[in-house]
Amino acid sequence: MPSQPLPTNSLAADIDRAAAELTPQLIAWRRDIHQHPELSNREFRTSELVANHLRSLGLDEVRTGVAHTGVVGLLKGAKPGPVVALRADMDALPVTEQVDVPFASQARGEYNGEAVGVMHACGHDTHTAILMTVASVLAGLRSRLAGSVKFIFQPAEEGAPEGERGGAALMIEEGALKNPEPDVIFGLHVTSMLPSHVVGVRGGPLMASADQFRIQVRGRQTHGAAPWRGVDPIVTASQVVLGLQTIVSRQIDLTHEPAVVTVGAIRGGVRNNIVPDEVNMVGTIRTFDEAMRDQIHARVRETAEGIAKSARADCEVCIRRGYDVTVNDTALTALMRPTLERVAGAGRMPPMPKVTGSEDFSCFQQVVPGMFFFLGVTPPEKDARTAEPNHSPRFFADEAPLPLGVRALAHLACDWLEAPEPARRLE
């Protein structure tokens, strides 16, 4: 594969200069969005902020209302060339913030009929602010761009509310990757798994698929003093939980890819001396390979149903497929890794392990080649190995590395547009 040329020194320097000058605005946007979080498919204020900013930059096109609240902006360079897309997600989580910062969220919302606190506990506020700033940087360099940049601000990455659709899949259905279709797409995610200013990327599977399962074990209610007169779904469900753990440890080839089967909740019974009629449990399945994914689904059904049958109980297994594996195009990742290494600096791109969390950026990668990477935001005084994780009410994102996120996306876009055509074929 041809090595990727560096951009002209003046362009690279101007990107960095503009990112530095815009840092105060970047931080102001981040804090404003953090203080006013909005749940999935309800990102009305955030999308208006984004759309107004993109219009103020004089972009060639700004579409709103894509997948409910999504925004898509198109910046055409002065010279013809390929198209690169950059994506950020905008939604927050039903989490009550416990971080002591002046811009902490006090927001409340409704999630599936329940009143909840709302917090940017996954860092999407930083993603949105970073991409808004990248738009400013690249709009200022329009006269030197050979090609176009599509800015995709996505709602509902955390999942649409019950009974609704949303997220990347719906954005694609509604034309986010059309007119024009990008040749590649890049995205980032802040994480407490890495120290501040550290960048993580890997080719191939990066983040896991995420599927949900529900298992209902039905027995026959009886007095707890005479369990032989009924069928005990609690004991049976306990055996099912233990049986499920052998799927990963004993029934699949872990030398190929890792996998996780977790029971997250189990409910049954109302009284100490009554064996109930049924027990319900829910859980998640995480895989990095589609064939293994199908295999584990089948094993979950076989295991649960087999154990239930042996106990004279009935069993119903429902598995709902969620986000697919986030797979970085290996050729694209190899081509663009030097850009990230240059921008991050020496020693700031250690080997990145697979992540068992999931991302619907995978939907975009199924349409065009894509690369997703991580930006560490755990401050120096904290240990990334024990820092509060994303989705925690105590998740804290250091703002110091956010300009690095701006520089990384801007340089990736420009380096891709500047790359020779043979390299862009990703062969």
- Indicate which residue of 97, 157, 158, 323 is catalytic: 323
Q: How far is CA 285 from CA 215, 294, 373, in A?
A: 13, 11, 23
- For 254, other C-beta atoms within 10 Å of its C-beta total 12
At 187, the amino acid letter reads G
Residue 43 annotated among the catalytic residues of the structure: no
Contact yes or no for 215/304 (Cβ under 8 A): yes
Q: Count the alpha carbons within 13 Å of 354 in the hemisphere toward its beta carbon.
A: 18
Phi, psi of 414 (to 5 degrees): -70, -40
* β-bridge partners, 262: 284
Catalytic residue among 38, 359, 399, 418: 399
323 included as an active-site residue:
yes
User: CB 309: neighbour CB atoms within 10 A?
Assistant: 12
In terms of DSSP bridges, do strands 259-267 and 204-207 run parallel, antiparallel, or are they unpaired? unpaired
Which residue, 149, 127, 102, is CA-closest to 50? Answer: 127
| DSSP symbol at 93 | B
Helices (H) and strands (E) in the chain, counts: 11, 17
- What tokens does 28 get? 């102001």
Tell the residue number behind the tokens 């931080």, with chain if given: 27
Cβ–Cβ < 8 Å for 411, 342 = yes
Cβ contact 300:319 at 8 Å: yes
Amino acid identity of residue 211, one-letter, is D
Report whether 274 contacts 224 (CB < 8 A).
yes
Q: Measured between alpha carbons, how far is 179 from 281 in angstroms, rounded to an integer?
A: 45
Residue 135 to residue 133: CA distance in whole angstroms = 5
Question: Do residues 83 and 152 touch, judged by C-beta distance below 8 A?
Answer: no
Structure-token match 């860092």, residue found: 123
| Helix ranges, 82-164 (H) | 124-139
Q: For 168, left (φ over 0), alpha (ψ -120 to 50), or beta?
A: alpha
**So which residues are the catalytic ones?**
323, 399
